[in-house]
Structure 1
Amino acid sequence: MIADFIKGKRILLAALISGIAIAAIYAGLQYLIPDTQLYMLTGLLVAWLTGLLLLMWRELHVHIRKQTLERHRWQEAWDGIRDILTFYHPLPPSTTFTIAPDAALYLLRHIMKQQPRLIVELGGGLSTILMAKLIKSKGFDTRIITIESDAVYGEALRKELQQHGVEDLTDLRICPIEPTSLGTWYSIAGNMPKDIDLLLIDGPPKAVAKDSRYPAFPFFEKYLSADASVIADDADRPDMLRTISRWQQKYTQWNTEWVRLSRTIAVFRRG
């Protein structure tokens, strides 16, 4: 939403600069060309500027409308989350890096339906807290392993889990980003438990490396249970579209479902 606001201000600034530039050009041309030609040129410039302003206004309107719809969708999602969970402490603030509320609601409903016994999450945060609270409130026999690359962020997340009384339900592992045989990725030491029922891919950040989340499937595929689901967040990002395409080409036994939310997620299940 902040990005849309900034982009909208840039559109208005571009229109203002264009108007000033055209006015300056027009003022200079008055001394260089005859009046008749100047009138014709003035008409063309006015028509061009009017079209430019209308185009910019339309783009700004689209961004504002998109922002409003997204805010409304997120509010509905939070209402749905609060119908499922009760919060006694404030949650960490939402950012562009945290899971979107509508994706979080989808995740909670998926867990309630499937009741996975083992969840592995790449990239912790708000989703970790919500999943752990759901497991505790419903009494599910479910374990969560969260892989986080940043030690400082991981410690902050651990304190959040403590505050919400769910630290014991989450095995939070700090795995720095390092060169591995699969690429620049989490330095996961040793083997993971087998029979993972849900793999949530929401890390590492895309700034780490090109297609930074690609190694998730090659690494974890052998640990997934027969009925496992894999949920990839931010699936409509260009880097994730490339990554998912590579997964689909290599792991043909897995079917892909695209869930269109404020940020698209991809859900994989064996065919």
Structure 2
Amino acid sequence: MRRPQLTALLVAGVVALVIVAVTLAIQGALVLGFAVVCALVGAAVIYLRFVHLATGHAYRRLEALSLLRGFVRPRLPLPAYTLWAASPELLLTVVGAIVERRAQLVVELGSGASSLWIGYALEALGEGGRLLALEHDPRYAAATREEVRRHGLESVVTVVDAPLCSVTVDAERYRFYDVAALAAIGERSIDVLLIDGPPGRTQPQARYPAVPLLLGRLAPAAIVILDDALRRDERRIARRWLRQYPQLTGRFSQTEKGTLVLRHDADLANLSAPERISGARDDGTALAIGVEAEGVH
């Protein structure tokens, strides 16, 4: 049994036990049978809901992976997907942005299997595009560089050690990548920016400095992609960006962990934040980023 199913079963079981215990405490043993039936029905509903969500995510992962394989042809097997790696849906979004922009320069905050996929996509595009990946963990950077070497992508992918250092953004202190590492790209503008770090555990809203620090390096029609956009911190980050930088417009994609796609367009400077974001959840409810864009807490 897979992890999502085990989690669903555990949650359903706990709910059932709680219902039975509460009923016994209030009514006594006479209604135990009725309580058990209600508990089992409730548990079944919860379990099926979890399985439905897990199955939907699995289907979308397979669909995205199939589409990726139609464009990217790895020379060696790529690392298996894990919960901590970039999902196939996120990778498909990134590859789509690369193709749309005919990207000459992609910058990735973080590194890993995604760096290989991006490298292969740039190679397949055949327009001389490069990826610069900033990685704060020296061991992880070395491991990614070794994978890049194994896949023969050294001419496309560069992984740079960029330790987290103290920076001040909007009068707040953050630990963020040392952007001096961008010296490797000279004066070139960034066509696609993938924000998949620093890790959320670094500090609250750890990824917020990405746009304030790199906005001036973005090409006029650059695409910025924020992973983990379903997390509360990332939603708050997105609202702050949209409120403070009117040249950005956003679209939310309901991927497994949530993906926010921002476009850099100075012509949108006169629109309000709610007007500059679109996207809805699978159940049709409005995305919180758009609804609450003017009320950052």
Paired with 1:136 and 1:98, the residues of 2 have a C-alpha distance of 21
1:231-254 deviation per Cα after TM superposition (whole angstroms, max 9, x unaligned):
111112111001101111111221
Paired with 2:132 and 2:211, the residues of 1 have a C-alpha distance of 16
Letter in 2 for 1:252: P
**SS class of match (1:127):** helix
Higher relative contact order (CA 8 A, sep 6+): 1
1:162-195 deviation per Cα after TM superposition (whole angstroms, max 9, x unaligned):
1111022122111122322231211232655441
The 8 Å contact of residues 135 and 161 in structure 2, kept in 1 or not, is answered as yes
**SS class of match (2:222):** strand
1:249 paired with 2:243, answer yes
For structure 1, list consecutive stretches of 5 or more residues without a partner in the other structure: 30-39
The 8 Å contact of residues 16 and 39 in structure 2, kept in 1 or not, is answered as no
Paired with 2:205 and 2:228, the residues of 1 have a C-alpha distance of 12
Paired with 1:216 and 1:6, the residues of 2 have a C-alpha distance of 37
Paired with 1:190 and 1:99, the residues of 2 have a C-alpha distance of 23
112 and 264 in structure 1: CA distance in 2 versus 1, 3 angstrom threshold:
same
Equivalent residue for 1:135? 122
| Cα shift at 1:138 | 2.7
| Cα shift at 1:61 | 0.8
Paired with 1:57 and 1:139, the residues of 2 have a C-alpha distance of 52
Equivalent residue for 2:59? 72
| Cα shift at 1:51 | 2.1
| Cα shift at 1:140 | 1.7
Paired with 2:56 and 2:2, the residues of 1 have a C-alpha distance of 14
| Cα shift at 1:18 | 4.7
1:234 to 228, 232, 235: 228
**Equivalent residues in 2 for 1:108-187, closer than 5 Å:** 108-182=95-169, 183-187=174-178
The 8 Å contact of residues 15 and 53 in structure 1, kept in 2 or not, is answered as no
1:199 paired with 2:193, answer yes
| Cα shift at 1:17 | 4.8
Paired with 1:22 and 1:135, the residues of 2 have a C-alpha distance of 59
1:225 to 200, 219, 243: 219
**Equivalent residues in 2 for 1:83-98, closer than 5 Å:** 83-98=70-85
For structure 2, list consecutive stretches of 5 or more residues without a partner in the other structure: 269-297
2:41 to 42, 46, 54: 54
212 and 22 in structure 1: CA distance in 2 versus 1, 3 angstrom threshold:
closer
Tell me the percent identity: 26
1:190-214 deviation per Cα after TM superposition (whole angstroms, max 9, x unaligned):
6554411111111111001100100
Aligned length: 258
Letter in 2 for 1:138: L
1:35-63 deviation per Cα after TM superposition (whole angstroms, max 9, x unaligned):
xxxxx743433333322322222111111
Paired with 1:255 and 1:79, the residues of 2 have a C-alpha distance of 29
| Cα shift at 1:20 | 8.4
1:216-270 deviation per Cα after TM superposition (whole angstroms, max 9, x unaligned):
0110011111111111111121110011011111112211111222332111112
1:208 to 202, 205, 221: 202
The 8 Å contact of residues 228 and 234 in structure 2, kept in 1 or not, is answered as yes
Letter in 2 for 1:189: A
Paired with 1:15 and 1:257, the residues of 2 have a C-alpha distance of 36
Equivalent residue for 1:7? 7
186 and 21 in structure 1: CA distance in 2 versus 1, 3 angstrom threshold:
same
1:87-112 deviation per Cα after TM superposition (whole angstroms, max 9, x unaligned):
23111121122111122112212211
Paired with 1:223 and 1:43, the residues of 2 have a C-alpha distance of 71
The 8 Å contact of residues 22 and 45 in structure 1, kept in 2 or not, is answered as no
Equivalent residue for 1:189? 180
Stretch of structure 1 that moved more, 116-125 or 176-185:
176-185
